[in-house]
Chain A
Amino acid sequence: MRFLAIQFLTGLSGSASLFLMSAGLTIIFGVTRVVNFAHGSLYMLGAYIGWSILTRIPHDPIWFAAGVIAAALATAGIGAAIETVLLRRLYRAPELFQLLATFGVMLVIQDLTLLIWGPNDLALPRASWLRGSVTIFGGHFPAYDLILIAIGPAVLAVLLLLLNRTRFGMLIRACTENRDLAAALGVNHRILSTSVFALGAGLAGLGGALILPDTSANTQMDLAVIVEAFVVVVVGGMGSVTGAFLASLMFGELQAFGIVLIPGATLVLVFVIMAVVLSVRPRGLLGDAPIMSVVSASGKPVRPVSLCIQAFGWGLVIMAATAPFWMPSYWLSVLTEILIAALFASSLHLIMGPGGMISFGHAAWFGLGAYSSALMSRTLSAPMPLALLAAPLTAGLVALAFGWFVVRLSGVYLAMLTLAFAQIVWAAATQWTWLTGGDDGILGVWPSGPVPFFWWVLSLSAASIWLLRRVARSPFGLALTAARDSEPRALSIGLRADRLRLVAFAVSGAAAGLAGGVFTFTSGSVFPSYIAVGKSVDVLLMVLLGGINTVIGPVAGAVAYTGFYDLLLQTTSLWRLALGLTIVTLVLAFPDGLAGNRRRWRP
Chain B
Amino acid sequence: MLTRRTVLGTAAVLAAPASVRAQPAPIRIGEINSYSAIPSFTLPYRNGWQLAMDRINASGGVLGRKLEIISRDDTGKPQDAVRLAGELLDEQKVDILAGGYLSNVGLALSDVAQQRRRLYIAGEPLSDALVWQKGNRYCFRLRPSTYMQAAMLVEEAAKLPAKRWVSVAPNYEYGLSTVKWFKALLSAKRPDVTFAGEQWPALGKIDAGATAAALAEAQPDAILNVTFGPDLTNFVRQGNTRGLFDNRSVVSVLTGEPEYLDPLGDETPEGWIVTGYPQAQLTTAANTAFIAAYKARFNAVPGMGSVVGYSLIQSIAAGIRRAGALDADKLIDGFSGATFETPFGPASYRALDHQGTLGTFVGKTAIRDGKGIMVDWHYANGAAYLPSDQEVRALRPSAG
Residues of A within 8 A of B242 (CB): 133, 139-142
- Give which listed residue, B77, B80, B243, B267, contacts A140 with CB less than 8 A: B243
Q: Are B72 and A570 in contact (CB under 8 A)?
A: yes
Q: Do A120 and B209 contact each other (CB < 8 Å), given the known contacts A216-B233, A438-B176, A576-B36? A: no
Residues of A within 8 A of B204 (CB): 220, 224
CA distance A519 to B216 in the complex (A): 46
CA distance A329 to B173 in the complex (A): 33
Q: Are B210 and A441 in contact (CB under 8 A)?
A: no
Within 8 A of A (CB), among B182-222: 197-202, 204-205, 207-211, 213-214, 216-217
Residues of B within 8 A of A267 (CB): 171, 202
Q: Do A142 and B241 contact each other (CB < 8 Å), given the known contacts A439-B172, A440-B104? A: yes
Residues of A within 8 A of B200 (CB): 263-264, 266
Q: Are B259 and A120 in contact (CB under 8 A)?
A: yes
**Interface check B264, CB cutoff 8 A:** yes
- Give which listed residue, B40, B207, B243, B267, contacts A255 with CB less than 8 A: B207
Q: Are B240 and A330 in contact (CB under 8 A)?
A: no
- Give which listed residue, A266, A333, A566, A569, contacts B171 with CB less than 8 A: A266
Q: How far is the CB of B4 from chain A (nearest CB, A)?
A: 53
- Give which listed residue, A142, A144, A224, A523, contacts B78 with CB less than 8 A: A523
Q: How many residues of B contact A (CB 8 A)?
A: 73
Interface stretch of the complex, out of B83-91, B275-283, B287-295, B358-366: B83-91
Within 8 A of B (CB), among A218-234: 218-221, 224, 228
Residues of B within 8 A of A121 (CB): 40, 229-230, 233, 263
Within 8 A of A (CB), among B85-111: 86-87, 90-91, 103-104, 107-108, 110-111
Q: Are A569 and B75 in contact (CB under 8 A)?
A: yes
**Interface check A527, CB cutoff 8 A:** yes
In chain B, what residue has the closest Cβ to A268? Answer: B202
CA distance A570 to B92 in the complex (A): 12
Q: Are A523 and B230 in contact (CB under 8 A)?
A: no
Q: Are B83 and A334 in contact (CB under 8 A)?
A: yes
In chain A, what residue has the closest Cβ to B237? Answer: A214
Q: Mark A384-405, 1 if CB is under 8 A from B, else 0.
A: 0000000000000000000000
Q: Do A441 and B104 contact each other (CB < 8 Å), given the known contacts A142-B238, A569-B80, A570-B72? A: yes
Residues of B within 8 A of A141 (CB): 242
Residues of B within 8 A of A569 (CB): 72-73, 75, 80, 84
CA distance A145 to B212 in the complex (A): 14
Within 8 A of B (CB), among A245-259: 255-256, 259
Secondary structure at the B interface, as helix, strand, loop or mixed, is helix
Q: Are B77 and A529 in contact (CB under 8 A)?
A: yes
**Interface check A444, CB cutoff 8 A:** yes
**Interface check B265, CB cutoff 8 A:** yes
Residues of A within 8 A of B198 (CB): 263
Q: Do A11 and B210 contact each other (CB < 8 Å), given the known contacts A121-B230, A330-B86, A569-B80? A: yes
Within 8 A of A (CB), among B232-271: 233-234, 237-238, 240-243, 259, 262-267
Q: Mark A507-526, 1 if CB is under 8 A from B, else 0.
A: 00000000000010001110
Q: Are A7 and B210 in contact (CB under 8 A)?
A: yes
- Give which listed residue, B39, B77, B214, contacts A259 with CB less than 8 A: B214
**Interface check B115, CB cutoff 8 A:** yes
CA distance A499 to B111 in the complex (A): 44
**Interface check B134, CB cutoff 8 A:** yes
Q: Are B115 and A10 in contact (CB under 8 A)?
A: no
Q: Mark A525-562, 1 if CB is under 8 A from B, else 0.
A: 10101100010000000000000000000000000000
Q: Do A527 and B83 contact each other (CB < 8 Å), given the known contacts A218-B40, A259-B199, A444-B111? A: no
In chain B, what residue has the closest Cβ to A440? Answer: B129
Q: Do A570 and B87 contact each other (CB < 8 Å), given the known contacts A519-B79, A525-B107, A527-B78? A: yes
**Interface check A3, CB cutoff 8 A:** yes
In chain A, what residue has the closest Cβ to B110? Answer: A443
Q: How far is the CB of B231 from chain A (nearest CB, A)?
A: 8
**Interface check A430, CB cutoff 8 A:** yes
Q: Are A259 and B83 in contact (CB under 8 A)?
A: no
Residues of A within 8 A of B145 (CB): none
**Interface check B383, CB cutoff 8 A:** no
Q: How far is the CB of B88 from chain A (nearest CB, A)?
A: 9
Q: Are B209 and A13 in contact (CB under 8 A)?
A: yes
**Interface check B349, CB cutoff 8 A:** no
Interface stretch of the complex, out of A57-65, A75-83, A123-131, A176-184: A123-131
**Interface check B63, CB cutoff 8 A:** no
Residues of B within 8 A of A140 (CB): 241-243
Q: Are B205 and A224 in contact (CB under 8 A)?
A: yes
Q: Are A573 and B78 in contact (CB under 8 A)?
A: no
Q: Are A524 and B115 in contact (CB under 8 A)?
A: yes
Q: Are B210 and A255 in contact (CB under 8 A)?
A: yes
Q: Do A523 and B201 contact each other (CB < 8 Å), given the known contacts A215-B230, A255-B210? A: no
- Give which listed residue, B77, B86, B104, B209, contacts A14 with CB less than 8 A: B209
Residues of A within 8 A of B39 (CB): 114, 119, 219
Q: Are B35 and A573 in contact (CB under 8 A)?
A: yes
Q: Are B209 and A145 in contact (CB under 8 A)?
A: yes
Residues of A within 8 A of B91 (CB): 328, 330
- Give which listed residue, A126, A221, A260, A527, contacts B267 with CB less than 8 A: A126
Residues of B within 8 A of A530 (CB): 79
Residues of A within 8 A of B127 (CB): 439-440
In chain A, what residue has the closest Cβ to B174? Answer: A439
Residues of B within 8 A of A439 (CB): 103-104, 127, 172-174
In chain B, what residue has the closest Cβ to A11? Answer: B210
- Give which listed residue, B104, B129, B176, B237, contacts A126 with CB less than 8 A: B237
In chain B, what residue has the closest Cβ to A329? Answer: B90
Residues of B within 8 A of A497 (CB): none
Q: How far is the CB of B374 from chain A (nearest CB, A)?
A: 18
In chain B, what residue has the closest Cβ to A121? Answer: B263
**Interface check B328, CB cutoff 8 A:** no
Closest 8 CB pairs of A and B: A119-B39, A439-B173, A215-B234, A123-B263, A256-B210, A10-B209, A142-B241, A443-B111
A220-B37, A569-B73 given. 12 additional CB < 8 A pairs?
A10-B209, A123-B233, A214-B208, A219-B40, A260-B214, A266-B200, A439-B127, A446-B115, A523-B83, A523-B108, A570-B72, A573-B36
Using CB atoms and an 8 Å cutoff, list the residues of chain B in contact with chain A: 35-37, 39-40, 42-43, 72-73, 75, 77-80, 82-84, 86-87, 90-91, 103-104, 107-108, 110-112, 114-115, 127, 129, 133-134, 171-174, 176, 197-202, 204-205, 207-211, 213-214, 216-217, 229-230, 233-234, 237-238, 240-243, 259, 262-267
The 21 sampled A-B contact pairs (Cβ below 8 Å) are: A3-B217, A119-B43, A120-B263, A121-B233, A140-B242, A142-B242, A216-B233, A216-B234, A221-B230, A255-B210, A263-B197, A328-B91, A333-B86, A438-B173, A439-B127, A523-B83, A525-B82, A529-B104, A569-B80, A570-B87, A575-B73
